[in-house]
Amino acid sequence: MSILRRKNKDACPAEAPGPPPSTPICDTEPRQRVCVCGKVTRMTARPTAGQPALAISVSDDTGTVTAVWTGRRSIGGITLGRRIAINGVPVMHGDHLEFTNPDYTLLPR
């Protein structure tokens, strides 16, 4: 870790003095960088073409998004019911937004 950089204001910070700045899921737009917070409500393995992938659903009171990490089967700390913040640029996937390999922050209960 050689470079110390200021995170931009819209990103979820690595330190958590309070809840990270986030957007309600219902207000999120595809292809705009956004941070959403919620609970992991689903976790599935989604292998395609022989390669593993981890897909989770994150829900807040206003909606649900999915996040997919390609090439991984599990990520430490990401479990059902865990509160988590997701930061990335989602794409419209059917009727909901999907993040590919987003930044994430595990949140305390």
Partner 1 sequence: MHVIVVGCGRVGSEVALNLASSEHDVIVIDRRAESFRRLGEDFKGATMVGVGFDRDVLTEAGITPNCAVAAVTSGDNSNILIARVARETFGVKHVVARIYDPRRASIYERLGIATVASVTWTSARVLRHLLVSESTPDWVDPSAKFTILERRVSTAAAGMSVADVETATAGRVAVIGRFGEASIPSPSLLLQEDDVLHIVVPADHAAQLDAALHLTEGTPE
Partner 2 sequence: MRVIIAGGGSVGRYMAGQLQNSGHDVTLIDNDTSVVTQGRATRTPVGVTWWLGDACEVATLTSVGAAQADVVAAVTGDDEDNLVVSLLCKQEFAVPRVLARVNNPKNEWMFTDMWGVDISVSTPHLLTALVEEAVTVGSFVRLLSLEGGKARLAEVTLAAGSPAIAKELTNLGLPRESTVVAVLRDGHVVVPRGDTVLHQGDEVLVLVTGGVEDDVRRALVG
Q: Which one of 39, 41, 52, 96 is in contact with partner 1 (CB under 8 A)?
A: 52
Contact positions with partner 2 (CB under 8 A) in 89-108: 89-92, 100-101
- For 34, counting Cβ atoms within 10 Å of its Cβ (0-12 exposed, 13-18 middle, 19+ buried), the class is buried
CA 107 to chain centre: 12
Q: CA-CA distance, 13 to 8, in Å (whole number)?
A: 9
Is 67 a residue that touches partner 2 (CB under 8 A)? no
Q: Which two tokens stand for residue 70?
A: 């390609």
Q: Are strands 34-45 and 53-60 parallel, antiparallel or unpaired?
A: antiparallel
If the CB atoms of residues 44 and 51 are measured against partner 1, the closer one turns out to be: 51
- Asked if 96 contacts 55 with a C-beta cutoff of 8 angstroms, the reply is no
Which of positions 87-106 make contact with partner 1 (CB under 8 A)?
A: 101-106
> Residue 49 binds which entry of partner 1, partner 2, none, with Cβ cut-offs from 5 to 8 Å by kind?
partner 2
Per CB under 8 A, residues contacting partner 2 are: 30-31, 48-51, 53, 70-71, 88-92, 100-101
Per CB under 8 A, residues contacting partner 1 are: 1-5, 7, 13-17, 51-52, 71-72, 74-77, 82, 101-108
